[in-house]
Amino acid sequence: MAAYNIKMPCMGEDVYKLRIGDHVTLQDALFGIRDATQIQMFDHGRETRLDLTGHAVIHTAPNVRRVDPSNSCPAGYESVCIGTTTSMRMERFTRPLMERNGVRIIIGKGGLGPESSQAFQDLGGVYLAIIGGTAALETTWIKRILDVDMDDLNPESLWQFEIADFGPLLVAMDSHGGSLYEAVNLTARERRAAALASMGVET
């Protein structure tokens, strides 16, 4: 289990070396994306002016306050509370997000499925698990909201954050087919019969 510090954007080699169980801390840049953002991008062909090549996206829709643009709030938004949502709803967007927009890293909670795992293997990507429901802590890792696109979808806009020491995050799915979620799922399936038997239910 290794620990890595990665400056964003990153290269393929930064991602290929990561294995499930490793820890990663990200620096500099991070993009926020969510259901509505990706439905617009991939089901309705909407383009974003933001360049996601080699970048990390986090499944989020933040609490923000509108303010006059300034150096600390260049996009006219101050962060209130920024956290993470359940990733699995966005499973079918992993491949296009990587293929069309060049995204390398997806950060979320609860994990992604086999389609995403295949995309990570084919295109060189990883899923980093953040701890869901710990947004107060996560907010302290974000320095500024630098830019926002598709803001008519607010709060499900495409957000660009400036970050410092964002993590540690756990490599939960890697580019070699590894998935901590699949391993846990297998354990649960193996233990199901015993769990039911403990309550007098035969399988």
CB of residue 155 to another protein, shortest distance in Å: 5
Based on the shown chain and the rule CB under 8 A, indicate whether residue 172 belongs to the binding site for another protein: yes
Q: Which of 70, 72, 118, 185 binds another protein (CB under 8 A)?
A: 185
Based on the shown chain and the rule CB under 8 A, indicate whether residue 184 belongs to the binding site for another protein: yes
> Toward another protein, which CB reaches closer, 17 or 66?
66
> Toward another protein, which CB reaches closer, 63 or 72?
63
Based on the shown chain and the rule CB under 8 A, indicate whether residue 13 belongs to the binding site for another protein: no
For residue 36, give the H/E element and its range: helix 35-43
> Toward another protein, which CB reaches closer, 53 or 203?
203
CB of residue 84 to another protein, shortest distance in Å: 7
Whether a cis peptide bond, with omega within 30° of 0, leads into 155 is yes
The 8 Å CB, 24+ separation contacts for 49-53 are 49/149, 50/147, 50/149, 50/158, 50/160, 52/97, 52/101, 52/102, 52/103, 53/9, 53/101, 53/102
- Segment 60-89, which members bind another protein (CB under 8 A)? 60-66, 80-86, 88-89
Q: Mask 23-62, x = binds another protein (CB under 8 A)? A: -------------x-----------------------xxx
Write the CB contacts of 161 (distance below 8 Å, at least 6 apart in sequence): 29, 30, 31, 32, 79, 82, 142, 143, 144, 145, 146
Based on the shown chain and the rule CB under 8 A, indicate whether residue 198 belongs to the binding site for another protein: yes
Q: Which amino acid is at 181?
A: Y
Q: Which of 15, 90, 126, 129 binds another protein (CB under 8 A)?
A: 129
| Residues forming beta bridges with residue 63, ordered by sequence position | 81
Based on the shown chain and the rule CB under 8 A, indicate whether residue 100 belongs to the binding site for another protein: no
> Toward another protein, which CB reaches closer, 74 or 168?
168
User: How far is it, in rounded angstroms, from Cα 133 to Cα 154?
Assistant: 21
CA-to-CA separations, 121 to 91, 94, 106, 145, 162, in angstroms, rounded: 15, 12, 14, 31, 28
Footprint of another protein (CB under 8 A): 36, 60-66, 80-86, 88-89, 109-111, 129, 131-137, 139-140, 154-155, 170, 172, 180-181, 183-185, 187-189, 191-192, 194-196, 198-202
